[in-house]
Amino acid sequence: MLIWFLPAFLFFLLIGLPVFFGLLAAPGLLLWLNGQEKDITLLYRNVYNGMDSFPLMAIPFFMLAGEMMNRGGITIRLVEFSQALMGHLRGGLAQVNILSSILFAGLSGSAVADTSALGSMLIPAMEREGYSRKFAAAITAASSVIGPIIPPSGIMIIYAYVMGESVAALFLAGIIPGILVGVGLMVMVRLMADRYDLPPAHRVVLTGTQLGKTETWVSFLLVRLNLGLLLWSFMPVGAEASSAIQWGLLIGALLIAHGIFLGLRRVVSHDFRMVCKRAMVPLQTPILILGGILAGVFTPTEAAAVAVAYAVFVGFFILRSLSLRDMPQILTNAGITSAVVLLLVGAAMAFKTVVSLSHAPEQLAGFILNLSENPLILLFLINLLLFIVGMFLDAGPAIIILGPILGPIFTDLGVDSIHFAIIMSVNLTVGLATPPMGLVLFVAAAVSKERVETIAKAILPFLAVEILVIFLITYVPAISMTIPRLTGFAQ
């Protein structure tokens, strides 16, 4: 009897009941009909216990950090940096759009924020350069899905929490797939550039850019510290080496880094260096988050709080682009958005209890195994299912609903749980850009003033690339598993 909660939930979902209420109404109704009224109390308790979690706190923190960075005017710096790096390639501004999305992904982890921040800047600029508006909107929407794949990522925090995985492992596993989506889109733009005669490109390096004293020194220190620490981490020193030797090597590494940058000054123009320096401060955010987690200094939640502190430092003291008057609105936006996600996660934990009680995964596993026992075919079918779900439902709620049902089945079939998490996250994230309900399509339409249907047609070549990447990720586990394995976060 209890297994009927799934069709009941699906019914509620399809007629438009908010997911939060559907996650509680369907199992609650079936428990009541089954005479298990006491277990309805268990549902309520699990909503509360589901929200009362330390790891979940990373969600509001990352949202807050992203919101502050975005308001603090870092988007323009990332675009300038991308333009200086990629602007000379054929289809230059489209390539800049994609690279900016990859860089932006390391700060916000939100496809919607990416589309709205980069789109409002790049779509008009692309139109002025001679691109069609629908093409500009389509490439903005298609590249924005990189946001939740490259860490930090809200949906990966949710997946990790609901499925009991390591946030750090998922973050690391998302890096190569995210970059792969970006590279795939760049290749497609290059191919389209010849075929559709996209506007000729030129390298754009802003001239006469000046930096404040504080920012100059902060950038100076950050680049040397990053490279120096990287060199130091590769030095073959045993753990038994004395602290004097360790310090000596660190100072040596910093001096080598300084030397390298002095050498680069002769090769690179002053203007290019200025643009890079302007991008250094915002680009430090992902380095801080991932570096902190990888070095074992912070937990992901603490790293998220440190990212907020860094965003405050950057916005108020380095760029001076934030004021105290901006803060209530920033905090309100981050709070309201997080509250909805946290309630959903709480309801998902309650839903997960009923999923276990009903033995739904076992029955579904039986059904799926009847279709085929070959994991490769099953992965193909599951990708198809996820893609269809992604067309109608946003990635976060879809993960909350499907994770507890599908995760255990594929883990039992021998698919690594982290690998499956990435397949699911990437597939559902791409769904954000698919019609008819792709969230970023609507945002791109609002930003560009182009019709959703027109963008939906123009985005098809890019979606084809993203589908190809999904299958690459699915059938080549090394793409997602290499970094977590190398860093000891996966076996």
Shorter beta-carbon distance to other proteins: residue 14 or 377: 14
437 binds other proteins (CB under 8 A): yes
Task: Dump strand ranges (E) for 295-419.
Answer: none
# residues near other proteins by CB under 8 A: 76
Shorter beta-carbon distance to other proteins: residue 262 or 324: 324
Among positions 105, 113, 146, 290, the unique one binding other proteins when judged by CB under 8 A: 113
233 binds other proteins (CB under 8 A): no
335 binds other proteins (CB under 8 A): yes
**Closest approach of Cβ 297 to other proteins, in Å?**
6
Report how far residue 278's alpha carbon sits from residue 80's, in angstroms, rounded to the nearest whole number.
9
Secondary structure (3-state) at 61: helix
**Total residues found in the chain within this entry:** 491
**Which residues in the 160-199 window bind other proteins by CB under 8 A?**
none
Among positions 98, 172, 344, 368, the unique one binding other proteins when judged by CB under 8 A: 344
**Closest approach of Cβ 403 to other proteins, in Å?**
13
Binding mask 406-435 for other proteins (x = CB under 8 A): -----------------------x--x---
Shorter beta-carbon distance to other proteins: residue 16 or 414: 16
Among positions 2, 6, 56, 69, the unique one binding other proteins when judged by CB under 8 A: 56
Report how far residue 257's alpha carbon sits from residue 223's, in angstroms, rounded to the nearest whole number.
8
Q: Cβ distance 166 to 155 under 8 Å?
A: no
53 binds other proteins (CB under 8 A): yes
158 binds other proteins (CB under 8 A): yes
Among positions 82, 140, 284, 337, the unique one binding other proteins when judged by CB under 8 A: 337
**Which residues in the 31-50 window bind other proteins by CB under 8 A?**
40-41, 44-45, 47-48
What is the Cα Rg of the chain in Å?
A: 24
- Residue 469 burial (CB count, 10 A): 23
Among positions 1, 7, 33, 52, the unique one binding other proteins when judged by CB under 8 A: 52
Phi, psi of 325 (to 5 degrees): -65, -25
309 binds other proteins (CB under 8 A): yes
Report how far residue 278's alpha carbon sits from residue 218's, in angstroms, rounded to the nearest whole number.
10
Which 3-state string (H, E, C) describes 210-253?
CCCHHHHHHHHHHHHHHHHHHHHHCCCCCCCCCHHHHHHHHHHH
First-residue to last-residue Cα distance in the chain: 39
Tokens representing residue 349 in the block: 């934990």
Among positions 248, 375, 436, 488, the unique one binding other proteins when judged by CB under 8 A: 436
**Which residues in the 244-283 window bind other proteins by CB under 8 A?**
none
Among positions 106, 397, 404, 407, the unique one binding other proteins when judged by CB under 8 A: 397
229 binds other proteins (CB under 8 A): no
Q: Which residues of 27-53 are buried (b: 16+ CB within 10 A; e: fewer)?
A: bbbbbeeeebeebbebbeebbeebbeb
Kindly indicate which of the ranges 105-113, 218-226, 242-250, 372-380 contains the residues binding other proteins, using the contact rule CB under 8 A.
Answer: 105-113
Shorter beta-carbon distance to other proteins: residue 154 or 361: 154
394 binds other proteins (CB under 8 A): yes
**Closest approach of Cβ 326 to other proteins, in Å?**
12
Those residues whose C-beta lies under 8 Å from the C-beta of residue 379, and which sit 6 or more positions away, are: 410, 415, 423, 474, 475
Report how far residue 368's alpha carbon sits from residue 371's, in angstroms, rounded to the nearest whole number.
5
Tokens representing residue 275 in the block: 């643009």
Among positions 13, 96, 274, 348, the unique one binding other proteins when judged by CB under 8 A: 13
Shorter beta-carbon distance to other proteins: residue 53 or 132: 53
Among positions 138, 280, 342, 406, the unique one binding other proteins when judged by CB under 8 A: 342
Shorter beta-carbon distance to other proteins: residue 42 or 211: 42
CA dihedral angle for residue 338, residue 341, residue 343, residue 347, rounded to 10 degrees: -160
Secondary structure (3-state) at 75: helix
**Closest approach of Cβ 64 to other proteins, in Å?**
7
DSSP designation for 112 = H
98's enclosing H/E stretch is helix 92-105
69 binds other proteins (CB under 8 A): no
20 binds other proteins (CB under 8 A): yes
CA dihedral angle for residue 481, residue 483, residue 484, residue 487, rounded to 10 degrees: 150
Q: Cβ distance 175 to 482 under 8 Å?
A: no
Among positions 8, 25, 211, 385, the unique one binding other proteins when judged by CB under 8 A: 25
Secondary structure (3-state) at 199: coil
110 binds other proteins (CB under 8 A): yes
Report how far residue 112's alpha carbon sits from residue 118's, in angstroms, rounded to the nearest whole number.
10
Shorter beta-carbon distance to other proteins: residue 380 or 392: 392
Binding mask 284-303 for other proteins (x = CB under 8 A): -------------xx--xx-
Q: CA nearest 345: which of 396, 392, 300, 405?
A: 396
54 binds other proteins (CB under 8 A): yes
**Which residues in the 130-149 window bind other proteins by CB under 8 A?**
147-148
Shorter beta-carbon distance to other proteins: residue 287 or 437: 437
477 binds other proteins (CB under 8 A): no
